Amino acid sequence: MKGLLILLSLCFTVSAWSDVTYPVKNFKYISDWDYREEVQDSDKYVVMVFSSKSCLERVVIDRSCFMFEKKLDYYIPSFSSKVKVVGFNAYFENYTVVSQFYVQKMPTVIILKNNQIIKRFEATFDQPDINNGRMGWQDELLKEVLNTIYQIR
């Protein structure tokens, strides 16, 4: 029994620290180590998306897992010449960047230019009400972010 518990603990530890493949292809998730090169030193507007890989570690992944990121990923080719999009895993990783920007909700989106915050977005998790024009929070957050990005260009 003790051996089984040690094995399970070891498996959990390895899976917690292993690389995760995020369901996006037009931007990459980076770490604290890459922040200076990818964000601070960038001459473009930088859209930072803070998410949590805990969504991918569930036994049963629900369909809304990374829905905002997937939708944003679709639009990136239309504005990627002047805007760079990077993601940060805020689930027990990237403490320096997460604390620097006081990120508490997932997802949070922050747009920077020359290391100055232009706009900050946090999801509001109210229930959609399609009859009264209220979309799901993923669509509302996406609309706000895209409107800001398209005004930048």
Give the per-residue pLDDT at 2: 59
Residue 40 CA to residue 32 CA, distance in Å, equals 11
CATH label, 20-152, candidates 3.30.1700.10, 2.60.40.10, 3.40.30.10, 1.10.287.70: 3.40.30.10
pLDDT cut 70: percent of the chain above it: 72
pLDDT value at 47 more than 90: yes
Mean pLDDT (whole number) for 47-66? 73
Mean pLDDT (whole number) for 58-84? 80
Give the per-residue pLDDT at 12: 47
Structural contact between residues 73 and 25, judged by C-beta atoms closer than 8 angstroms: yes
Mean pLDDT (whole number) for 20-38? 86
pLDDT cut 90: percent of the chain above it: 41
Give the per-residue pLDDT at 132: 66
Q: What average pLDDT does the chain have?
A: 80
Task: Look at 8-22, 25-39, 72-86 and tell me which has the smallest mean pLDDT.
Answer: 8-22
| Beta-ladder partners of 116 | 113
Question: What are the structure tokens assigned to 27, written together?
Answer: 């931007």
pLDDT tens-digit series, residues 78-135: 987 889 999 998 887 888 999 999 998 888 999 999 989 999 998 777 666 666 666 7
Domain ranges within the chain, ordered by starting residue = 20-152
Query: String of b and e for 51-71 (b: at least 16 CB within 10 Å)?
Result: bbbebbeeeeeeeebbbbbbb
Global pTM value:
0.77
